Amino acid sequence: MMVLDIKNLSTHYHSRRGTIKAVDRVSLKIEEKEFVGIVGESGCGKSTLAFSIMRLISPPGEIVEGEILFRGRDLLKLSEEEMRRVRGKEIGMVFQDPMTSLDPLEKIGDQIIETIQMHEEVDKRSALEKAEELLESVGLPRNRVNYYPHQLSGGQRQRVMIALAIALNPTLLIADEPTTALDVIVQEKIMNILKGMTSEGRSIILITHDFSLASEKSDRIVIMYAGWIVEMGESSKLVNEPLHPYTKGLLDSVPDLWLDRKIKTMPGLPPDLVNPPRGCKFHPRCPKAMDVCKEREPTDATVNGRFVKCWLYEV
């Protein structure tokens, strides 16, 4: 069953220099229990996409067009009050820096209880019970309910954030670079917790700049470049046989522990988002650029069940 169906979504930022099309006509579907990794460099729009789903875009940003169907309901048509009920209860979100979202003066347990009681009519005792269970489910001892955020390590705080995000049992969890600030060992543990949640019926969107991490954990990978989804498909297939030249370039430029190979430099710089290149936004860096790429935006193609936005695959 489809959980999320984003159709033709555009989110723009208005700046003094001009309009930045952070998310540019993006369409994306998320199935039930699916783990989807959205991969891209800084400024590609992956975080804006996540914040758009949560409708957390504030001026100078603006969602200018599209639909975000969550279980059939268009989130963009909901009132702010209705949307507040969706956030946390139906879609949870984990941010990169847990310290910015945790209250330093309040015990972990109280923060979880507060979140639960904000949405559900339960007494304090059963809420506390639930909080302890949640901490346990993310691999923390139950007594951590009595700790303050500063008494925990970065990894433990991020686990608390995940516990908070799933406190109301949302069906979709968006994790925006949840482990970027953490060490690999902690990252591995947190990723496994997230991965385990899909078997409980949750869908996960992992937003990351780490291609290998995404390829390892996700069922499906979405590659974003300059506001576009340039390629999207099943993880192993996408990694073994990348279609889009950007995907290929990214794969070749990432050092890998177990693959014995030299890395290849990707030419050029990420595009200026106010004045992106004409035609395909990737063409100035593309080794396979053709004349048409400089003139016209590539159309969306499907090759062997995989989405790709590139003139090379035009029939």
Partner 1 sequence: MEILRVENLKKYFPVQKSFIEVLLSKELKFIKAVDGVSFGVKKGEILSLVGESGCGKTTVGRLITGLEEPTDGKIYFKGEDVSKLPKDRRKEIYRSIQIIFQDPYASLNPRMKIGEHITDPLLIHDIADNDTARKMAIEMLERVGLVPGEQFFNRLPYQLSGGQRQRVAIARAMVLNPEFIVADEAVSMIDVSLRAAILNLLLSFKEEYNLSMLFITHDLSVAKLVGERIAVMYLGRIVEIGDVDDVIHHPKHPYTAALLSAVPSFDKRDLKVDIRGDVSNPIDLPSGCRYNPRCPFADDKCKESEPELEGDDFHSFACWHPLDIEVE
- Spell out, one character per residue from 144 to 163, where the chain touches partner 1: x when CB under 8 A holds, - when not: ---------x-xx-------
- State yes or no: residue 284 binds partner 1 (CB under 8 A): no
- State yes or no: residue 234 binds partner 1 (CB under 8 A): no
Q: In this structure, are residues 48 and 228 in contact, taking their beta carbons and an 8 Å threshold? A: no
Q: In this structure, are residues 53 and 59 in contact, taking their beta carbons and an 8 Å threshold? A: no
- State yes or no: residue 224 binds partner 1 (CB under 8 A): no
Residues 6+ apart with CB under 8 A from 194: 35, 162, 173, 175, 178, 204, 206, 217
Give the residue from 131, 168, 127, 167 showing the smallest Cα distance to 146: 131
70 versus 211: smaller Cβ distance to partner 1: 211
- State yes or no: residue 239 binds partner 1 (CB under 8 A): yes
Give the residue from 140, 115, 119, 139 showing the smallest Cα distance to 128: 115
Q: How far is the CB of 145 from partner 1 (least distance, A)?
A: 18
Q: In this structure, are residues 108 and 40 in contact, taking their beta carbons and an 8 Å threshold? A: no
Dist CA 13 CA 219 (whole Å)? 31
- For the record, the structure tokens of 6 come out as 């984003």
- State yes or no: residue 71 binds partner 1 (CB under 8 A): no
Q: Which of 42, 58, 79, 100 binds partner 1 (CB under 8 A)?
A: 42
- State yes or no: residue 83 binds partner 1 (CB under 8 A): no
Stretch that binds partner 1, among 24-32, 72-80, 128-136, 248-256 (CB under 8 A): 248-256
- For the record, the structure tokens of 225 come out as 């470049």
- State yes or no: residue 274 binds partner 1 (CB under 8 A): no
- State yes or no: residue 211 binds partner 1 (CB under 8 A): yes
67 versus 210: smaller Cβ distance to partner 1: 210
Judged by the rule CB under 8 A, the positions of this chain that interact with partner 1 are 41-42, 153, 155-156, 183-185, 187-188, 209-213, 215-216, 239, 249-259, 263-266, 269-270
